[in-house]
Structure 1
Amino acid sequence: MRVLIAGAGLSGLSTAMFLGLHGVPSLVVERHATTSLHPKARGQFPHTMEALRLAGVDRRVLAASPPDFQFRIVIARSAAGPVFNEILVDDAGPDLTAFSTAGWANASQERVEPILAERARELGARIRFSTELESFTQDADGVTAVLHDLATGERETVRADYLVGADGHRSPIREALGIGQAGRGVLGTGSGAIFEADLSAVLPPNALVYLQNPELPGGSGALVSTDEPSRYAIGVGLGEYSDERWIELVRIAAGIPDLAVTLLQTGTSTDTKHWVADTFSSGRVHLVGDAVRVMPPTGAFGGNTAILDGFYLAWKLAMVVKGEAGPALLDSHTPERRPYSEFIAEQQYTFFVQRMRPDLADAALTPLVEPFSMPFFGYRHLSDAVVLEPGDDRALLEPEPTGRPGSRAPHVLVRVDGREVSTIELFGRGFVVLTGAQHWVDEASALGLTAHLLDGPEWAKAYGITESGAVLVRPDFFVAWRTPDATGDLPGALKSVTASAS
């Protein structure tokens, strides 16, 4: 077995799906009997949809989204008002068409995970539910794991080249590796319930209300719609509440004193935490999703970042296990994903303070970044898997696309094979060379790379080169190397970024 994945949430299933896309089958084990049954982690941003489009599931995710959705996020005393602040009231999210041809989706984790699982299986993955990774050891050649079938009680030992820990915020794998975490820790503990009621008079079908109301336990809470009409979820401060008290809390949150409420599930408890793991890799074990970062659920980056963890890790794992790259390529996982995770966790903490806990505001609060596109398209991956240029300032964020190594490849409309496409749509299966000069095409072909000969100066300008230059783009849409003109060492760059000895 090449790759064993522990956890069938968004990050684990994405890793399996993208590994399959690159021709590497995997085994996914999940201790729960099914994928998530909770309507959380709603919404897919355009940069996530680009990755899902590459995997061939973007249309499935769109189909799983509420039809003609208008997503509304507000801070209010109750769903009926008064509204203190409107955060998002838009038909399909802010306009990011200058950065991507992909749009927005609004599916919940409950709907998305089965889609990812189905596609992962189509691409060769095996998924075993009710199966727990009980223990593991690793050596220089691989990982030995003991799997426990929770339905039959049987145990078996399996061997894999690599283990991916996608086993959640408690992550027994992370704990077994002795990896610590840094951050603000526990910010609060809450209780939740799922209920049915008619809130059509105060809420659109797709809405999230951050509640600031002294009548609620802790003075704050959240009310959110689900994929089912008339079904909602509520979260308030931790407590042991009777059914009668839950109904009262729902009525307070809705702002409708005589609301008819049918409780479906009560008593769920969650901790709101803020931390990032000290490292994302240890030997042949690599961590993704909640196993490496936990942050307040304010900002909607949790589910998106989990999916993209799998996207960014899978191509590296695939190249290494297929012998197309050296094992050192995987050393880039922590330096590329941890700084971004710290940034996103801080952004979501700021959202948390602004929307739910204004009492925590202080001088150390990190400002929200502008422009809005930066967290989606303006972050950089800085590691030995890119060839940084002399004088690079190593900035994690850039407000506008530059095309420099370590940054996301700019979206430019170009003509390829008689049709107009975004440059982003040319990437994803392997390293790709863009150029306006035939000799770079010939050199790329000799290296087994896909190359596109493009006309016109617009794309070259966007990538910071001349038409006689070339740019090497990684499978994850990030620029690995560029040369402004006809000079440059493409074979050396490819060898460097893939940690190849050949």
Structure 2
Amino acid sequence: MSVLVVGGGLSGLSTAMFMALHGAPPLLVEKHPTTSVHPKARGQFPHVMEALRVAGVDERVLDASPKDGKFRIIRAVSLNGPVLQEILTESPDFTHLSQAPWADVSQERMEPILADRARELGADLRFSTELVSWRQHDNGVTAVLRNLDTGTEETVEVDYLVAADGHRSPIRQTLGIELVGRGVLGEGTGALFEADLQGQQQFLAYLLNPDLPGGAGVLVSTDVPGRYAVGVSNTVGDKDWKQIIRTATGIPDLEPKILDLPHGRSQTRHGVAERFTDGRVFLVGDAARMMPPTGAFGGNTAIMDGFSLAWKLAMVTRGEAGPGLLAGHDPERRPYSTILADQQYLLYTQRGRPDLADDPTLPAPVEPVSALFFGYRQLGGAIVAEPGDDLWENPERPTGRPGVRAPFVRLTDGSTTDRLGHGFVVLTGNPALKGLPIDVHVIEEPEFFAKYGITPEGATLVRPDFVIAWRSVGATTPEEVESAWRTVLDWPA
């Protein structure tokens, strides 16, 4: 195996799945015996569903989603009221920006889907296996693994190491990489229970109630009908979970069944790693960033870490790109991670910490909200940049500049998105470019040229992760396209 992925959560499994999709199945090790049993990190945005569609698992995710298709987010004293704020009654309509739907699967159902698909594509997934030690050197990474069931150890040599080992990340700590941010915001503890909450749809309730331990909590539905999770912000002493659930639901005579799930402390923290790359090691998921669980960015970003990094690792290890391609991981993912972590902190103060609402360092909300998923522009990494340093663009008025996500355009035979995801592609109106050693799609619709900012003789080069790598507005030769492609790949002619 050319790549070792440490950690079998959303980011690690996504990296393994997408690497295998691109023809370079890695070895993944996870110390726990199974995927997560916790119903957290719920919800998938349309841009994530587009990535999952490329991997062939979008229908599995939709099948695993609750069937009512509705999700409500409130701030309240209890689930039965009084309601202090209706935060979300329905998901935003992004159908003009993506053909993919929203989904509503939690980590406990998403991880097995990713793991199954990674195995189908050839990835070697080993649970109950821990990383004992590792060191990187000029030619690769030497790692010692231990099977926790048998106690046997194995030494493996790989080209690269992906740290998907969670928020404590021993790999990150070994490298001396600090998290930069607001630090620990609070601690909490929770329980899982079954109850008959008649008439309740899928929901997430942020609770401000002096009768709850710590005066605040959260109550959320899960993927399983009749099963719910409750959490409180006080971790001191034993908890009367039955009374806490009655207070949280606002049903004083409720008889919940407390389920046997380990009740550990959870920590709410804000911070982004000061670098995402160290030699041959790459940080993804919670190893790279920590953010409050308000806004669903954490799980979605973990999946997109894998979508962004996997094709680069696959092309380099398959000898189809130079190592300079991997240098893009830090400038492409870290600034964006800082923005997302700050936006989730803002939502955290709005939904559950009104005492922080007057903090003068609070970030401004990104508007429109669709820009967070479809309008962020990468200013460094594997692109051939154009003049200008705008970090954002309004996806309602796309420009097609390098570094931005390729705009969605409906075509007579599908959409631009249908052509993306499995390799580099050229989108153009110029049939003379068809002889390139890259997939070339000739498009004639005027809307395409308007949204991509090119003429029918121009061309746009799009990466496997839907990011525009380069474009030529006017008349373009095959040699110009191939030269730009090799520049992005750090691959000499």
* TM-score category (smaller protein): over 0.9
Q: CA deviation at 1:241?
A: 4.7
For 1:381, which of 356, 368, 378 is the aligned residue? 378
Q: CA deviation at 1:256?
A: 1.2
Task: Give the alignment of 1:94-493 within 5 angstroms.
Answer: 94-201=92-199, 203-204=200-201, 206-242=202-238, 245-264=240-259, 265=261, 267-361=263-357, 362-390=359-387, 392-399=388-395, 400-415=397-412, 420-442=413-435, 445=436, 448-487=437-476, 489-493=480-484
Q: CA deviation at 1:428?
A: 1.0
Moved over 6 A (4+): none
Secondary structure in structure 1 of the residue aligned to 2:184 = strand
Distance in 1 (CA, whole Å) between partners of 2:299 and 2:115 is 15
Distance in 2 (CA, whole Å) between partners of 1:496 and 1:157 is 36
Q: CA deviation at 1:240?
A: 4.2
Deviations 1:273-317 (A, max 9, x none): 000001111111111000000100000011100000000000100
Corresponding letter in the other structure for 2:297: F
Distance in 1 (CA, whole Å) between partners of 2:70 and 2:8 is 29
Corresponding letter in the other structure for 1:460: F
Secondary structure in structure 2 of the residue aligned to 1:267 = coil
Q: Which residue of 2 aligns with 1:30?
A: 30
Corresponding letter in the other structure for 1:164: V
Corresponding letter in the other structure for 2:364: P
CA contact (8 A) 1:192 1:266 kept: no
Q: CA deviation at 1:460?
A: 0.9
Q: Which residue of 1 aligns with 2:49?
A: 49
CA contact (8 A) 1:77 1:211 kept: yes
Q: CA deviation at 1:130?
A: 0.6
Deviations 1:180-203 (A, max 9, x none): 1100000000111111122225x3
Distance in 1 (CA, whole Å) between partners of 2:39 and 2:302 is 16
Secondary structure in structure 1 of the residue aligned to 2:17 = helix
Q: Does 1:494 align with 2:490?
A: no
Corresponding letter in the other structure for 1:259: L
Deviations 1:462-491 (A, max 9, x none): 100111111111111011111111146222
CA contact (8 A) 1:240 1:267 kept: no
Q: CA deviation at 1:266?
A: 6.0
TM score, norm. by length of structure 2: 0.97
CA contact (8 A) 1:100 1:422 kept: no
Corresponding letter in the other structure for 2:424: F
Secondary structure in structure 2 of the residue aligned to 1:164 = strand
Distance in 2 (CA, whole Å) between partners of 1:32 and 1:266 is 14
Q: CA deviation at 1:267?
A: 3.0
Deviations 1:381-427 (A, max 9, x none): 2224111112x124245453211000000101123xxxx21101101
Distance in 1 (CA, whole Å) between partners of 2:230 and 2:367 is 31
CA contact (8 A) 1:174 1:291 kept: yes
CA contact (8 A) 2:368 2:394 kept: no
Deviations 1:196-250 (A, max 9, x none): 122225x32x11000011221222110001122221111102324545x221111
Secondary structure in structure 1 of the residue aligned to 2:448 = helix
Distance in 2 (CA, whole Å) between partners of 1:422 and 1:240 is 54
Corresponding letter in the other structure for 2:113: I
Gaps of 5+ in 1: none
TM score, norm. by length of structure 1: 0.95
Distance in 2 (CA, whole Å) between partners of 1:95 and 1:253 is 31
Corresponding letter in the other structure for 2:464: P
Secondary structure in structure 1 of the residue aligned to 2:98 = coil
Number of residues of Structure 1 aligned to a counterpart in Structure 2: 488
Distance in 2 (CA, whole Å) between partners of 1:149 and 1:396 is 46
Distance in 2 (CA, whole Å) between partners of 1:283 and 1:451 is 34
CA contact (8 A) 1:10 1:306 kept: yes
Secondary structure in structure 1 of the residue aligned to 2:73 = strand
Distance in 2 (CA, whole Å) between partners of 1:136 and 1:266 is 30
Distance in 2 (CA, whole Å) between partners of 1:397 and 1:192 is 40
Distance in 1 (CA, whole Å) between partners of 2:398 and 2:321 is 28
Distance in 2 (CA, whole Å) between partners of 1:14 and 1:384 is 21
Distance in 2 (CA, whole Å) between partners of 1:421 and 1:88 is 31
Q: CA deviation at 1:501?
A: 2.4
Distance in 1 (CA, whole Å) between partners of 2:384 and 2:230 is 48
Distance in 2 (CA, whole Å) between partners of 1:309 and 1:162 is 16
Greater mean alpha carbon deviation, residues 451-460 or residues 25-34: 451-460
Distance in 2 (CA, whole Å) between partners of 1:438 and 1:263 is 64
Q: CA deviation at 1:380?
A: 1.5
Q: Which residue of 2 aligns with 1:63?
A: 63
Distance in 2 (CA, whole Å) between partners of 1:115 and 1:453 is 35
CA contact (8 A) 1:72 1:89 kept: yes
Distance in 2 (CA, whole Å) between partners of 1:347 and 1:200 is 34
Distance in 1 (CA, whole Å) between partners of 2:95 and 2:69 is 19
Secondary structure in structure 2 of the residue aligned to 1:102 = coil
Q: CA deviation at 1:372?
A: 2.0
CA contact (8 A) 2:428 2:457 kept: yes
Aligned-pair identity in percent equals 59
Q: CA deviation at 1:319?
A: 0.8
Q: Which residue of 1 aligns with 2:80?
A: 80
